[in-house]
Amino acid sequence: MSEFTHFDEHGRAFMVDVSDKDVTSRIAKACATVSMKSDTYNKIFDKKIKKGDVLGTAQIAGIMGAKRTPDIIPMCHPLNITGVTVEFEPDSATSSIKVIATVKVDGKTGVEMEALSAVSIAALTIYDMCKAVDKGMVISDIKLLEKSGGKSGDFKRTNP
């Protein structure tokens, strides 16, 4: 069990004590992809989805998702996040939208989960707003792209 930091010697879960860790600047970047029918894709960009501005709403939802991460993932520490961006890379050739979130904090623990939560919630919001016209949308490739800061050092995915 020693590989897992959130379990004690009896296998019981606990939140890791970070009180002795140094405060450092930490950044995490994650992404997700939402694939859909070309008609759905076009409706999003032609502002023809009845629920409203899909990407504007998804952007706000992603930011809120990052801020609410410790409320939905049990062992995440509440953090004083200093910045969140949620951006979109549309691809008309594949009728897909890549969601990219970057989260920053000056703290004792990282923001990888907050970045992953942001892209997940933004992608789910796209699905929710478009499901009336396309229930077959697929959310995929949710992954951490990079992170910096902290004791474990930097990480950058080599196959984004």
Residues with catalytic roles: 128
H/E run at residue 77: none
Angstrom distance (rounded) from CA 69 to CA 79: 9
At 35, give phi and psi (nearest 5°): -105, 145
H/E run at residue 10: none
Question: CA end-to-end span of the chain, whole Å?
Answer: 31
